[in-house]
């Protein structure tokens, strides 16, 4: 990594440039060593600023890899720096960060860092629920988040680990969700709703989730809407449409997404109704179009042959492995 870029990163008199930040991707051992020498003499606020600035870059470009920088930052004595490094660890094709995240969740003295680790473990648990993680790795996640949910006194950790538990096939999960559903803590209830959705067990949780659609607190309603989408609750479509018509922006976006996931005639009609009302809102119109496409995909209405230009009757066109498997 060029020294001038390292110097620019350490210069608190200006914002870190995109060039300097991007140069932190994929550092080899020598470049990482040079970075750490500068990093050690950089002010805490600047270290946090740099790590936080890397996150949107990673979200916009999945080919970037800041894991070396993030792993080094986990050894930082400042808890806020460690917390800012955690989201840079997640990699949906590499489960190696799971060990680091579980260690942070169990033993980091800074509660926000433990909560950040729990948040990333929610994503890994979601992968495990679809068998995209080795079974032994998923078992470690299940044990770790259950232990933290039971023993960690921090409310953010307790809530986030509950959301992760929704993806876990453990007998203790149902008990934890039932207990959380009876709470007067709106934030914990919202996490419980999300976790109920993660279970995909509509027979068990549909009544409790639907009952939260008219909760007095908006973020609980938003969480319930999302859960309805995951549980594909057809009966909730009228309430979801009502929330989409009058709700807060976050609730409206979740309602549109949920209708696409739920599918069916009523959900389709609701999306078309919303589409007619959102003509002057380009962002919402795009979300509605995506939801309609999802609905059609899940219902089998999209003709993939027309989309990829192939013809089953053309002898010169070979079936792809995916089509053969189908």
HEC readout, 111-170: HHHHHHHHHHHHHHHHHHHCCCCCHHHHHHHHHHHHHHHHHCCCHHHHHHHHHHHCCCCC
Q: Domains along the chain?
A: 204-326 (1.25.10.10)
Q: Whole-angstrom Cα distance, residue 219 to residue 238?
A: 19
Asked if residue 11 has pLDDT above 90, the reply is no
Asked if residue 310 has pLDDT above 60, the reply is no
Lowest-confidence segment of 36-50, 156-170, 250-264, 307-321 by average pLDDT: 307-321
Alpha-helical regions (H) of the chain = 3-10, 18-22, 29-39, 44-60, 67-73, 79-85, 97-107, 111-129, 135-151, 155-165, 171-181, 186-199, 202-211, 218-231, 237-246, 249-262, 264-277, 282-298, 304-308, 321-325
Asked if residue 7 has pLDDT above 80, the reply is yes
Instruction: Identify the pLDDT of residue 305.
Output: 52
Instruction: Identify the pLDDT of residue 12.
Output: 87
- Of 209, 187, 107, 98, which is closest to residue 151 (Cα–Cα)? 107
**Residues 230, 240 contacting (CB under 8 angstroms):** no
Instruction: Give the Cα-Cα-Cα angle 163, 250, 288 (nearest 5 degrees).
Output: 110
| DSSP-derived secondary structure letter, 236 | G
Dihedral, CA atoms, 5, 8, 14, 20, nearest 10 degrees?
20
Please give the model's pTM, rounded to 2 decimal places. 0.88
Q: What interhelical angle do 218-231 and 249-262 show, nearest 10?
A: 10
Q: What is the DSSP string of 57-88?
A: HHHH-TT---HHHHHHHTT-S-HHHHHHHGGG
Mean pLDDT along residues 64-74: 96
pLDDT tens for each residue of 241-287: 999 998 788 999 999 999 999 999 999 999 999 998 888 899 999 99
- What band does 316 get if pLDDT is binned at 50, 70 and 90? very low
pLDDT tens for each residue of 189-241: 999 999 999 999 999 999 999 999 999 999 999 999 999 999 999 999 999 99
Instruction: Identify the pLDDT of residue 120.
Output: 97
| DSSP-derived secondary structure letter, 289 | H
**Residues 197, 164 contacting (CB under 8 angstroms):** no
Which residues have a Cβ under 8 Å from the Cβ of 105 and sit 6 or more positions away?
A: 114, 117, 118, 121, 144, 145, 148, 157, 161
Instruction: Identify the pLDDT of residue 300.
Output: 80
Lowest-confidence segment of 2-11, 151-160, 202-211, 280-289 by average pLDDT: 2-11
* 34-58 burial: b if 16+ Cβ within 10 Å, else e: ebeeebeebeeebbbbbbbbbeebb
């Amino acid at each position: 990594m060029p020294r001038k870029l390292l110097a620019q990163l350490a210069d608190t008199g200006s914002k870190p440039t995109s060039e300097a930040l991007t140069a932190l991707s994929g550092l080899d051992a020598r470049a990482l060593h040079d970075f750490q020498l500068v990093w050690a003499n950089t002010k805490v606020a600047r270290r946090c600023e740099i790590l936080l600035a890397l996150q949107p870059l990673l979200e916009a470009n999945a080919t970037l890899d800041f894991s070396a920088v993030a792993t080094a930052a986990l050894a930082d004595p400042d808890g806020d720096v460690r917390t800012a490094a955690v989201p840079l660890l997640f990699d949906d094709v590499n489960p190696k960060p799971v060990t680091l995240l579980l260690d942070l969740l169990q033993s980091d003295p800074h509660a926000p860092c433990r909560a950040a680790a729990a948040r990333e473990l929610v994503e890994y648990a979601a992968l495990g629920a679809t068998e995209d993680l080795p079974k032994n790795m998923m078992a470690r996640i299940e044990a770790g988040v259950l232990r933290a949910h039971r023993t960690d006194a921090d409310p953010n950790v307790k809530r986030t680990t509950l959301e992760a538990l929704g993806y876990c096939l453990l007998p203790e999960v149902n008990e934890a969700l039932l207990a959380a559903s009876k709470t007067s803590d709106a934030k914990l209830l919202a996490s419980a709703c999300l976790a109920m959705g993660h279970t995909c067990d509509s027979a068990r949780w549909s009544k409790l989730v639907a009952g939260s659609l008219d909760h007095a607190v908006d973020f609980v309603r938003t969480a319930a809407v999302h859960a309805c989408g995951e549980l594909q609750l057809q009966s909730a479509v009228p309430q979801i449409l009502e929330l989409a018509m009058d709700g807060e922006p976050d609730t409206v976006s979740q309602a549109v997404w949920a209708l696409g996931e739920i599918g069916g005639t009523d959900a389709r009609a609701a999306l078309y109704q919303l589409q007619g009302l959102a003509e002057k809102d380009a962002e919402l119109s795009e979300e509605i179009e995506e939801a309609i496409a999802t609905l059609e995909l899940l219902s089998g209405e999209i003709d993939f042959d027309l989309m990829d230009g192939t013809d089953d009757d053309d002898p010169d066109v070979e079936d792809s492995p995916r089509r053969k498997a189908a």
